[in-house]
Structures are given as structure tokens and as C-alpha cells.
Amino acid sequence: MMRFFSWNINGFRAALKKGFMDWLEDADPDVLCLQEIRCEWNEIDMSVRKILENVFDICWFPASSKKGYAGSATLTKKGEGWTHQRGLGKPEYDQEGRMVVSKRGDLVLLGGYFPNASHGLVRLPYKRAFAKDLVARINAEHKANHKVIVVGDLNVAPTEIDIARPKDNVMNPGFTPEEREDFQGYLGAGLVDILRYRNPDVPGLYTWWTQRGGARERNVGWRIDIFLISNGLTDQIISADIHKDIFGSDHCPVSIEIQL
């Protein structure tokens, strides 16, 4: 059994000040995908780096286009046979540290920070291009008989049940018809939204809350941090969870346990 976690930490150095290392010890993930790391590896305190390097193989992928922006990382327990690659081989995404590709046998893990359509939807074309290229990559992996896990901050609430106030947000970034259509493209490529698959009619399963107006306390949120898995892996999933009681970011961690 392996435990996969994903967390948009909204700045790694900020998360360290909010108990990240204590959480990591308690959670004890075999695989951890992080989003919005917002720093270079050498900007992290040496003592923290040593602790992490003793336990994990680390693929740290900060944005090169803008300091302190975006970025993703994947950490895997040492000795578990993972290899890592920074980026999708597409400079327009890789310069923002969007995704780490990790492999173990016939399993491919695509973990990353998906683009935000941004205020005024100015980056919607960029986000849609990213989605199209990711679908092509998923299709290629499936054609090669690989099993795929896609995880991270997808920056889209897939359906109305995944957002507290759908009618108020239908043209806002993260809930436009175009973004939701692109999410369906991932499912069309043979992936399953495993948390929703296991909890089809359960409302209130959110992973991100605005920091305004006590939204988190009132659970007025969005589910945008999501595990997608190849259809052939569904029977191997032991659990799929949202850890809304874990603070330290405006997002909470999500996880799956899988029999591999």
C-alpha cells in the first residue's frame, strides 16, 4: 500500500512557519506532490533540506520565469523506485514550474499546479492549451499501456456539487463552462475523479476557501485539488480523502491510499 498526498501550500517557506514539518511527520506520505512552492531549493533553511533529503527523493521545480511564483514539487520515499522529470517538455508551461512527471514501473504520476484562468479570464486560452496538451500526454501514456495518476491544484471545480455557490461563479475563473469542459476531457482520456466516484452525491467536499469573510469556518469553498486515476486503478484504491482539518494554507491536503 502507498499513500499519496497532494497539497497546494501557498508558499513553502510560509508553510514551514505554520507547522508543515509536524504535519509531514504525522501524515508520513510515500508520495507527496506540492503546488505553489514559490521558492528555489537553496532558499530553504539547510536543516529543513537535510531532514527532507534523508527521507525523500525530491524533484523541486520552481518557476524560472518569475521569482516567487507558482512552481511544483514531488517527493517520494527513498528506495521506492521512482524516477522524476521536471516538466512536460513544453517551455510555455515548464518555465512556470507547472508539472513534475514521475515514473515507477508502468505507473506514471503527473503532479502539478494547473494554470489559473485569472481575473478577467485573461489566461483562459493558456489554461485551455495546457489542458489540451495534458490530454494528449495522458492518451500517449495509456497507449503505451501505462497507468496514470494526475494530481494537484487543477484550478477548476468540475461540477456544481464541487462549489458552494455555483450560480454566483459561473463566469469566474475556475468555474467557466470552458474549464469544466476541459476537465471532462481528462475523464474522456480514461481518468476517474476518484473522490467523486466514491462520494457521488456528497456536498461540501471542498479543498480551497477564500481567506475573506470566514469562508473556511463556514465551509463556503471549492473542490479544486483533485486526484484523477486511470480507470484500471479504481479497484486498487483503498481510500480517497480530503483533510479539511489541516491548516497552513488556503488549501487543504488531499490523499489516496492505493494497493500497488
Residues annotated as catalytic are 113, 153
Cα 54 to the center of its chain, rounded Å: 24
State the pairing for strand pair 2-8/31-35: parallel
Q: Please state, as a whole number, how many other Cβ atoms lie within 10 Å of the Cβ of residue 57.
A: 18
**Cβ 130 vs Cβ 115: under 8 Å:** yes
- Residue 253 per-residue DSSP state: -
- Return the H-helix or E-strand segment holding 44: none
Which residues does 184 contact at the CB level (< 8 Å), separation at least 6?
158
d(CA 234, CA 237): 6
* Residues contacting residue 201 through CB under 8 Å, at least 6 positions apart: 161
Pairing verdict, β 107-113 and 147-153: parallel
* Distance, CA of 23 to CA of 158 (rounded, Å): 28
